[in-house]
Structure 1
Amino acid sequence: MGLISWIVVGLIAGLLAKWIMPGEGPGGLLVTLILGMAGASVGGFLVGLIGGTGATGFNIWSILVATLGAIVLLFIYNLIARRSV
C-alpha cells in the first residue's frame, strides 16, 4: 500500500471506529489518523490469524480491516483509561 493509501484508509477507519465505539476516545484529527493506520496493522494481524488477507490498498476490504483493528485499539484504550481514573 502506498503512503497516500495508508493515510486515506487510516483516516476513514479512524473516523468510523470513533463513530462506532461509544465513550470518549483520544481526540484530534492526527490521533484519529494514527489510530486508523495502527488499526490497519492490528486488523491485518487479526485477519491473518484466521487465514484472511489484511489491508491491501485503497479498497473497501482494507477499510473494513483497518476499522476492525481501530475498534480493538479503542476498546483497549477505553479499558486502560477507565482503570486510571
Structure 2
Amino acid sequence: MSTLGTILVGFIVGLLARALKPGNDRMGLIMTTLLGIAGAFIARYAGTAMGWYHEGEPAGWIASIVGAIVLLVIYGMLRGSSRRV
C-alpha cells in the first residue's frame, strides 16, 4: 500500500506544483505524477542534507511542492531549449 500512497501523494504534489507555477506546462498525468514523486524525493534528500529532517523521515507537503516546482522549472528549460534546435 505504501507504493500506491507514494504515487497518489506524488500526483497531488505534481498537480499543486503545476497550478502554482505560472505558464503553460503541457504534460500528461504520468509526467505530473513522476514530477511530484521526484519533487518529494528531492525535498527529503535536501532536507536531510541541511539537517531539517532526520534519516527515514518524509518531507513535508510544502517542501515537496517546492521540490516539484524546481523540477518543473528545470524541465521547462530543458524542453524549451530542445525545441529551439
Aligned to 1:23: 23
Higher RCO (CA-CA < 8 Å; seq separation 6+) = 1
Picking from 76, 79, 82, the partner of 2:77 is 79
Aligned length: 81
Q: TM-score, normalising length from structure 2?
A: 0.77
Q: Gaps (5+ residues) in structure 2?
A: none
Larger Rg over CA atoms: 2
* RMSD of aligned Cα (Å): 2.3
- Where do residues 1-85 of structure 1 align in structure 2 (5 Å cutoff)? 2-53=2-53, 56=58, 61=60, 63-84=61-82, 85=84
| Partner SS, residue 70 of structure 2 | helix
Per the TM alignment, residue 32 of structure 1 is displaced from its structure 2 partner at its CA by 0.8
The runs of at least 4 consecutive aligned structure 1 residues that moved more than 6 Å come to: none
Q: Identity percentage over the alignment?
A: 36
